[in-house]
Amino acid sequence: MSILNTNIKFLPSVGEKRAELLKKELSIATFEDLVLHTPFRYIDRTKFYTIAELRKSDVAIDVQIKAKVQHVQLIGEGRKARLVVTVYDGTGVAEMIWFHSTSWVLKSIDREREYIFFGRPSLYNGGVSMVHPEFEAHGMSGGVVSYGVQGVYRSTEALRNNMLGTRAIASLIRVMWQRIEGQIEETLPLWIVHKVGLMSREEALREAHYPQSAERLAKALYRLKFEELFYIQLNLLQAKGVRTERSIGHIFSTVGDRFNRFYNDVLPFPLTGAQKRVVKEIRQNSVTGHQMNRLIQGDVGSGKTIVALLAALIAADNGFQSAIMAPTEILAQQHFESLAPMCNKVGVSVALLTGSTRKKERERIFAELLSGEIDILIGTHALIEDPVQFSRLGLVIIDEQHRFGVMQRAKLHIKGGETPPHIIVMTATPIPRTLAMTLYGDLDVSVIDELPPGRKPIKTIHTREEQRLRVMGFMREQIKQGRQCYVVYPAIDENEKLDIASVEAGAAALAEFFPPSEGYCSVVVHGKMTTKLKDYGMDMFRRGEAQILVATTVIEVGVNVPNATVMVIESAHRFGLSQLHQLRGRVGRGGEQSWCVLMTGDKLGADSRARIEAMVETTDGFVIAERDMELRGAGDIDGTRQSGQAIDIHFSDLARDSQILADARAEAIELLSIDPLLNGGENFQLRVKIAKMRAKESGIEELDLSKIS
């Protein structure tokens, strides 16, 4: 067994308790996990600042100073106590301040001794201070401070409370490195290492932890990121190639009468160039004899549903049925109400099946599905129930696909019989290109990047609390013109500690601005309500019986009201950028000018301000998605990740490493063009790694390597 598989508890000063904590907090269970826990950022410890330099400008980075302790004072008692250490360096005086660990600092610091302090300086009334700086006696032998490029390791509050902060983790890695040095195996075939000009894996990991220079660190990180992204791309692209080659798919050879009549006589508006392009891509897939697996991504209101319907009409003209699965009953109902009347005009039968469908209607649908009388079945999870059997299922369309698990999609897959149906999955969550290549590299991806003609861009406005009366007045004007308004809150109940606007308090306040006695009608919808009550409230709003819908984010997906022209988002800084964009997409669905009003308090953090500014600057969902990934990083990708998909990213930042991803993908494509099954002897290592990745995706812990050779 490799030493890298050693349990972390056997490392000196770790033990059982700390090992459990490291596993829980950082998923570090073995020596290998710890060596892969590379610094999340690096700091330059080669430069020393003087206090006078810091007083001249507000330095927004961590810096170090060399200064003598002049005065130590503990102010206050108990939890309110703070320790203030006054230091001087010959150019000025600064204060080092601690609110926690004050007893330890008092024991560790001596007056008149020179120390190196490291932290983020701040200026107040011309004075310089640092809160909770790192410190070490200058000239201390055997000290852990490295005066060069130095890594900062990710830790957590729970770990820090158990003396496992960034410096303690660095110390653990140093002890472990002495044991594992020379035993880290190469994980890429040597021909790839030489072809791409990469460092060895051990050299790269050593540099990542202990950089000798900025240049060597850059080469080390490139090596680690390239390998990570190369294997992800190789896995996805090989799976796609094998599936495309081996899978049998229905052939839709005809674009028939019903499609043509619909396109020429029924379609309510001309298709955009992007919609035409995607229909053409679907058409090309459907005549190859291989199963289609295509992702259609497009912004809110870009016309994905009509493209899906045109695909279903092609299926119908070739004698096949289609299933359209939506995540909510109200969205399934909307699809049915908008598509069925158009389909009936060209003789295409459409039915709706949800959890609310009555027994007698269900039985009719089951019978007509088996007889082939129903061409298109629209529904929710009810479509995957056992009694639902198709006569000839040829196409499955899944709306907002990330809301369905792998097993749910698989159940629809097998309803096609021996030949699997073509699959189209749709999402209104724009996905950055690098993320799409990583999450959906095994799918063909179509992008609808144009809005239908006649749609006016939504005007987005940022307002503060003092402008509330103006916002309410604007809503009154819109309602007077026959329009409707959404007001969205981040919470259901009031929370005084967090100072978050809530539906509960908001609905009461709105009733004063828009009293029922004056003819105003507001409905409230939130996640604690029953599905029946939520649907009733949304239906009232959809039918125009209520002018104002007061809600939480339950309306993020699934409400299409063209008459709604105002979206007010309370405490907008509490929402993520992608979520704000999805909420904004609830308006602007008709021909009238629409507005999105972002209400916030006066004080905003840097990230909150950046999100609000991005919303005001653009309505382009793909620009928003890229900005969102820059702000949040790609680690938080559950909103778009396919359930059951295992993608481990230790080193890469998909927001910033697009070029490395492109390099890795290009190498994977070139390799698979020569050796698609990775059968070449020099590629055995690659075949083993891919097999392990797929075993992990399937939940298999132990892999029999003899079956790979």
pLDDT tens per residue across span 634-666: 544 434 444 334 456 888 887 678 889 889 999
**pLDDT higher than threshold 70 for residue 608:** yes
Q: Please give the helix or strand (H or E) that residue 422 lies within, else none.
A: strand 422-427
CATH superfamily of this structure's domain 46-145: Nucleic acid-binding proteins (2.40.50.140)
Contact 652, 414 (CB under 8 A): no
User: What is the reported pLDDT for 645?
Assistant: 43
> How many CB atoms sit inside 10 A of residue 287's CB?
17
pLDDT surpasses 80 at 264: yes
The secondary structure of 310-348, three-state, reads HHHHHHHHCCCEEEEECCCHHHHHHHHHHHHHHHHCCCC
Provide φ and ψ at 524, rounded to 5°.
-115, 135
Query: Could you tell me the pLDDT band of residue 144, with boundaries at 50, 70 and 90?
Result: very low
CB 326 within 8 A of CB 308: no
Tell me how far CA of residue 601 lies from CA of 462, 487, 598, 615, 617, in angstroms: 10, 16, 10, 16, 19
518/510 Cα distance (integer angstroms):
13
Q: Is residue 237 scored above 60 in pLDDT? A: yes
One-character DSSP codes across 489-510: -SBSS-BTTTTB-BHHHHHHHH
Backbone angles phi, psi at 103, to 5 degrees: -65, -45
Region 489-497: what's the mean pLDDT? 68
Q: What fold is seen in the domain 459-618? A: Rossmann fold (3.40.50)
With a CB cutoff of 8 Å and minimum separation 6, the contacts of 579 are 553, 556
Contacts of 420 (CB under 8 A, 6+ apart): 247, 248, 249, 291, 413, 414
Q: Which of 291, 354, 353 is nearest to 320 (CA)?
A: 291
Residue 246 identity (one-letter amino acid) = R
Q: pTM of the entire structure?
A: 0.68
| H-only helix segments in 3-95 | 15-26, 31-35, 51-56
CB count within 10 Å of CB 50 equals 15
Token digits of residue 572: 């907008």
Question: How, if at all, do strands 293-298 and 444-448 pair?
Answer: parallel
In the numeric block, the tokens 């299409």 are attached to: 560
Output the six-digit token pair for 419: 């030949």
Please state, in angstroms and rounded to a whole number, the distance separating the CA atoms of residues 547 and 361. Answer: 33
The residue with greater pLDDT, 693 or 95, is 95
Q: 350-353 and 393-399: which strand pairing? A: unpaired
Task: For residue 63, give the 3-state DSSP assignment.
Answer: strand
Residue holding tokens 């392009």?
Answer: 277
At residue 553 the predicted structure's pLDDT band, cuts being 50, 70 and 90, is confident
State whether residue 241 is helix, strand or coil: helix
**Cβ–Cβ < 8 Å for 74, 106:** yes
pLDDT of 49 higher than 60: yes
The pLDDT confidence band at residue 214, using thresholds 50, 70 and 90, is confident
- How far apart are the C-alpha atoms of 567 and 295, rounded to whole Å? 29
Give domain 257-448's CATH superfamily. P-loop containing nucleotide triphosphate hydrolases (3.40.50.300)
Question: Is 459-618 the same fold as 257-448?
Answer: yes
Q: By the 8 A CB rule, do 341 and 378 touch?
A: no
SS3 620: coil
SS3 call for 102: helix
**CA atoms of 569 and 490, how far apart (whole Å):** 8
Distance CA 84, CA 105 (A): 10
Spell out the domain ranges in the chain: 46-145, 189-246+661-709, 257-448, 459-618
pLDDT of residue 705: 60
The answer to whether the beta carbons of residues 376 and 316 sit under 8 Å apart is yes
Cβ contact 36:154 at 8 Å: no
Has residue 444 got a pLDDT over 80?
A: yes
Mean of pLDDT values over 106-122: 89
Q: Is residue 115 classed as helix, strand or coil in its secondary structure?
A: strand
Evaluate whether 114 touches 88 at the Cβ level (below 8 Å): no
Task: Average the pLDDT over each of 16-25, 309-318, 695-704 and give the range with the smallest value.
Answer: 695-704
Q: What is the pLDDT of residue 142?
A: 41
Alpha helical stretches, state H, 39-165: 51-56, 102-108, 157-161
> Virtual CA dihedral for 680, 685, 688, 689, nearest 10 degrees?
-130
pLDDT at 472 over 90: yes
CA–CA dist 279, 276 (Å, integer): 5
* 484: three-class secondary structure by DSSP: strand
**Residue 592, C-beta contacts closer than 8 angstroms, at least 6 positions apart:** 456, 483, 565
SS3 content of the chain, % helix, strand, coil (to 5): 45, 20, 40
C-alpha triplet 267, 269, 270: angle, nearest 5°? 95
The helix (H) or strand (E) run that includes residue 284 is: helix 273-285
Compute the average pLDDT of residues 287-310.
89
CA distances, 562 to each of 364, 485, 554 (Å): 33, 11, 18
CA dist list (Å): 427 to 81, 303, 617: 52, 11, 23
Q: Which residues does residue 709 pair with via DSSP β-bridges, in sequence order?
A: none
Q: To 5 degrees, how large is the angle CA 475–CA 478–CA 482? A: 130
Q: Using CA of residue 695, residue 696, residue 700, residue 705, what is the dihedral sign?
A: positive
Neighbours of 473 (CB within 10 A): 11
Is the distance from CB of 480 to CB of 565 less than 8 angstroms? no
Predicted confidence (pLDDT) per residue in 377-423, tens digit: 999 888 888 888 999 999 999 987 555 555 555 666 677 778 889 99
